[in-house]
Structure 1
Amino acid sequence: MAADAVLYGNERKILVLGIGNILWADEGFGVRAVEHLAAHYSFGPDVQIMDGGTQGLYLLPVLEDLETLIIVDAIDFGLAPATLHHVEGSAVPATIGARKMSLHQTGFQEVLALLELRGHAPRAIHLVGVQPVTMQDYGGGLTEAVARQVPHAVHMVLELLAQRYGVCPTPLQHAPAPGAGVMTQAVARTAYEQGRPSEELACRYGDERVLARSGV
């Protein structure tokens, strides 16, 4: 066990949280990264993998009094498109708030501020992010360049867990059902992206599968 790990009962409380909106192309990067992580590795009770989506303040109870929070998200770092970058500590809320590209980032910055104000902030916090190529393709999946970074982001998370916190997951021999453990199968990446019409047929101002349900 890492020297700086804190025990809560018999467990360390480490959360790997993917946030973002899968309806807006590269904004879904964090969600797809934790989906990939859960599909390829098994963790003990000291680590939880979670799709935080765009829940914002609803995540507050989940984040209170964590030892470690690792956030994965699409972030405007001002870097070249599809570049991965890691920041930690006080740089995390500053980075999220510096160039907001979506409403979920505004909400999550508020969550971090409330945790700090109430004295329940994570003891350690990390952000593994990617510079998006586009977030304007409604209903679209990840762009090719950003999709290629998903396994590399997962590797960065695994290195953080191993080197900083002494956590080494077990690789899965057989992948579980798509989305298992983090989301429903209907919105798992393969089902979602393969179920979308081609670019020639797709409604570019929205995903017709969503619009049809809303009556638009």
Structure 2
Amino acid sequence: MKEMDKLYSEIVVAGCGNPLYADDGFGPAVVERLKGMELPKNVTVVDAGLGGPHFVFTLLNPESTKALIIVDIADFGGEPGELRWLTVDELPEGSYLDAHSWDLTEPLQCIKDDILIRVLVCQKKYVSAPEMDIGITDEVQRAIPGAVSEIIKEIRMNYGNA
């Protein structure tokens, strides 16, 4: 293994969002649960907060990173707390429509042929931004164990561990 490879995990799980804005804290809450579990050494779990697009891309190396799993809230018209897996191609054209107004579509499109990218989203009920409201709604809170389970299954299915 080259020295550079040691800096990058094969699998990166990034929880995006801000717990100060109600359901926007979903991604960080899922990551917090995952950090409390024993995961394989080839998995890095990070709370990317609101700086996800800038921070997460620094954790990836197309030569050694095999997968990026993004965990976030979204508004896809489902029931609050409903989970859904998306691929990069399923993200709305031209933008990644979440509470942060990120435009991740183009950079994710650029790396999707080298790194498997999966986005696990939870249908939000309420995001308070710009007003602070600490605490995830009950519906979204109940989705956290299911999200953790989905991520573990994704790691096992595609990489045979976890």
Question: For 1:14, which of 11, 18, 21 is the aligned residue?
Answer: 11
> Contact between 2:88 and 2:112, CA under 8 Å: does it hold in 1?
no
Give SS of 1:97's match: coil
Change beyond 3 A, Cα 1:96–1:165 = farther
Residues in 2 aligned to 1:95 and 1:157: alpha-carbon distance in whole angstroms? 25
Q: Give the TM-score normalised by the residue count of structure 2.
A: 0.81
Higher Cα radius of gyration: 1
Change beyond 3 A, Cα 1:155–1:94 = same
Residues in 1 aligned to 2:161 and 2:94: alpha-carbon distance in whole angstroms? 26
Work out the percentage of aligned pairs sharing the same amino acid.
26
Give SS of 2:154's match: helix
> Contact between 2:94 and 2:106, CA under 8 Å: does it hold in 1?
no
1:197-216 equivalences under 5 Å are none
Question: For 2:136, which of 142, 152, 173 is the aligned residue?
Answer: 142
Paired residue for 1:86? 85
Give SS of 1:142's match: coil
Paired residue for 1:53? 49
Gaps of 5+ in 2: none
Gaps of 5+ in 1: 1-7, 169-216
Quote how far apart the aligned CAs of 1:12 are: 5.5
1:52-92 Cα distance to aligned partner (Å, 9 max, x none): 0011324322234231001110011111111111122422x
**One-letter code of the match for 1:135?**
V
Question: For 2:38, which of 39, 42, 63 is the aligned residue?
Answer: 42
The alignment status of 1:106 with 2:67, answered yes or no, reads: no
1:128-153 Cα distance to aligned partner (Å, 9 max, x none): 11101100262321011110110110
Residues in 2 aligned to 1:69 and 1:84: alpha-carbon distance in whole angstroms? 17
Root mean square deviation of aligned Cα: 2.6
Quote how far apart the aligned CAs of 1:164 are: 1.6
**Which protein has the bigger strand share?**
2
Quote how far apart the aligned CAs of 1:165 are: 1.4
Residues in 2 aligned to 1:20 and 1:147: alpha-carbon distance in whole angstroms? 14
Number of matched pairs? 153
